[in-house]
Amino acid sequence: MNPVMDSQSSSKKTMQKIGLLLFGLLGISLSVRAQQYVITEHGVGKDSTRMSTKAIQKVIDDVHQQGGGTIVIPKGVFLSGALFFKPKTHLRLEEGAVLKGSDDIKDYPLIPSRMEGKKLDYYAALVNAYKVDQFSITGPGKIDGNGLKFWESFWAYREAQKKINQVATNLDVHRPRLIFIWGSNGVKIRNVQMRNAGFWTTHLYQCNDVSIENCDIQSPYKPVPAPSTDGIDIDVCKKVIVRNCYISVNDDAIAIKGGKGPDAHTLPENGIVENVLIENCRFGPSHGVLTLGSESIHAKNIVLRNCTVESKTPILRLKMRPDTYQVFEDITLENIKGSCGSIFTMNPWKQFFDMAGSTEKPYGIVRRITLRNIDVTSPKLGELEGNPADQVSNIVFKNVNVQGATADFKNIYPDVKLQQVKVNGMLQASK
């Protein structure tokens, strides 16, 4: 007996078995997904003025009980409150299909949830998936949050609070998110139009292996601005890809979340956001293209590349909370073009500052940030000034070309290097 040949034969057989097993699993997955259930063929009416929540939810529940499949929204407008997808169910919106959210908060139940870096009871989103591995939402149809009424209520409440010298918080006016996916792995959102969210547009929490591709995410700045309608919120997630998307919203285009408060880093519901790739995207007006910090304790290995920016806000924005321990490391921006308000802005962020009676002295660590091959029109290169105790190191601007009104670059940190950086054609030196 030749032990080498015998070993190779055994290995080959093992690989064949693994291959057959994977093929079988793939076949099962594809078979389940191939089972399509058009909602109008299963008891959902076509009247766009009538609430269809119960009828659509019954289709979802029946499909789940039958072993799984894809719930299909056909051409037309279907008005609904919160929908809850179950394991082995998927959502598809056909050309001309609109899943339109109710503008009455009563149609979104108050349930255990996650908002603004805290575990709390909050209102369900229009589309919800909890522990639904391999969940998918595919287009080319539209999910429309119908958020105008919620936006108007928010601004009216804020103005009323101002008159009595009080501050309005984002949670004071009850508004639903468009999509909330929690504890789900292998999620795919593709070719979907997402519009007019009442609150955040796409919230991913404790999810791994997520891809969002070829999506168009928008909420308006006028005539009524859509407050806090973040495009994509990545909250305690790993391995996330955002590719070939257009995002323009009245808040952050992509926000990295994970928790806030002096003890946030010790709580099991909080955690790191790691291994995020954002590429080949186009960003319209927003409050920031890629923002970390308002509710973020640790972010690592974040890449934004090959993107076009058309806004007046920062490309990379770090919000340094003095009430939260934060670590932002290994972040790369490369091959970016267009127009912006700055390339990189880092400032203290004291909105809703709350030490909750703690005697801790939180600080932030920012390290290994690389910004290279960037060619933009902007009024300034950037602004780097966090809180006094923050530790900042190894920041590199390389092959950066900025055309704008001034060469303004406010920076208080010694370990920031400018390599082949030009502002209005003038080579800049590290300070």
Encode pLDDT of 341-355 as tens digits.
999 999 999 888 888
Residue 225 domain flag: yes
Q: How confident is the model at residue 356 (pLDDT cuts 50, 70, 90)?
A: confident
Q: Which amino acid appears at position 1 of this protein?
A: M
- The predicted pLDDT at position 428 comes to 87
157 lies in the same domain as 121: yes
Residue 3 domain flag: no
- The predicted pLDDT at position 19 comes to 46
Q: Is the pLDDT of residue 25 over 60?
A: no
257 lies in the same domain as 341: yes
Residues 216, 221, 223, 228, Cα dihedral to 10°: 90
Residue 310, judged by CB atoms within 10 A of its CB (0-12, 13-18, 19+), counts as middle
Q: Is the pLDDT of residue 402 over 60?
A: yes
Residue 346 domain flag: yes
Q: Contact, 314 vs 343, CB < 8 A?
A: yes
44 lies in the same domain as 83: yes
183 lies in the same domain as 255: no
Residue 2 domain flag: no
Paired tokens of 287 = 């409050």
Query: Whole-angstrom distance between the N-terminal and C-terminal Cα of the chain?
Result: 71
Q: Which residues, 6 or more positions from 116, have their beta carbon under 8 angstroms from its beta carbon? A: 170, 171, 260, 294, 295
210 lies in the same domain as 356: no
Q: Is the pLDDT of residue 374 over 70?
A: yes
224 lies in the same domain as 292: no
Alpha carbons 294 and 215: distance in angstroms, whole number: 25
DSSP secondary structure letters along 82-133? -EEE-TTEEEEE-TTEEEEE-S-GGGS-EEEEEETTEEEEEE--SEEEES-T
Q: Is the pLDDT of residue 382 over 80?
A: yes
Paired tokens of 127 = 């589309």
DSSP secondary structure letters along 131-155? S-TT-EEE-SSEEE---HHHHHHHH
Given 179, 198, 233, the domain boundary residue is: 233
229 lies in the same domain as 255: no
Given 205, 233, 261, the domain boundary residue is: 233
Q: Cα dist. 200→84, 170, 228, 393, 406 in Å?
A: 17, 11, 6, 32, 34
**Residue (of 282, 194, 301) closest to 243 by Cα position:** 282
Total of domains in the chain: 2
3-state secondary structure of 358: coil
Specify the pTM: 0.91
* Distance, C-alpha 168 to centroid of its chain: 24
Encode pLDDT of 281-307 as tens digits.
999 999 999 999 899 999 999 999 999
Residue 410 domain flag: yes
- The predicted pLDDT at position 4 comes to 37
224 lies in the same domain as 322: no
Radius of gyration from C-alpha coordinates of the chain = 24
Encode pLDDT of 127-148 as tens digits.
999 999 999 999 999 999 999 9
Q: Is the pLDDT of residue 168 over 60?
A: yes
Q: Is the pLDDT of residue 32 over 60?
A: no
DSSP secondary structure letters along 204-255? EES-EEEEEES-EEE--SSSS--TT--SEEEES-EEEEEES-EEE-SSEEEE
Residue 76 domain flag: yes
User: What's the rounded mean pLDDT across residues 172-197?
Assistant: 98
- The predicted pLDDT at position 6 comes to 45
Q: What is the DSSP letter of 430?
A: -
Q: How confident is the model at residue 407 (pLDDT cuts 50, 70, 90)?
A: low
336 lies in the same domain as 412: yes
CATH of the domain at 157: 2.160.20.10
Residue 242 domain flag: no
User: What's the rounded mean pLDDT across residues 363-383?
Assistant: 96
Alpha carbons 251 and 171: distance in angstroms, whole number: 15
Given 233, 260, 281, the domain boundary residue is: 233
Question: Domain residues for 329?
Answer: 251-431
**Residue (of 378, 381, 375, 382) closest to 335 by Cα position:** 375
Give me the chain's average pLDDT, please: 92
Q: Contact, 319 vs 364, CB < 8 A?
A: no
Alpha carbons 273 and 183: distance in angstroms, whole number: 14
- The predicted pLDDT at position 404 comes to 87
Q: Is the pLDDT of residue 23 over 80?
A: no
207 lies in the same domain as 153: yes
Q: What percent of the chain has pLDDT over 90?
A: 86
CA atoms within 13 A on the CB side of 329: 10
Q: Contact, 369 vs 331, CB < 8 A?
A: yes
255 lies in the same domain as 358: yes
Cis amide prior to 223 (ω within 30 degrees): yes
Residue 212 domain flag: yes
- The predicted pLDDT at position 429 comes to 84
Cis amide prior to 220 (ω within 30 degrees): no
182 lies in the same domain as 286: no
Alpha carbons 286 and 345: distance in angstroms, whole number: 15
Encode pLDDT of 72-115 as tens digits.
999 999 999 999 999 999 999 999 999 999 999 999 999 999 99
Tell me the β-bridge partners of 307: 336
Paired tokens of 222 = 């006028």
Q: Is the pLDDT of residue 268 over 50?
A: yes
Q: Contact, 294 vs 260, CB < 8 A?
A: yes
- The predicted pLDDT at position 408 comes to 79
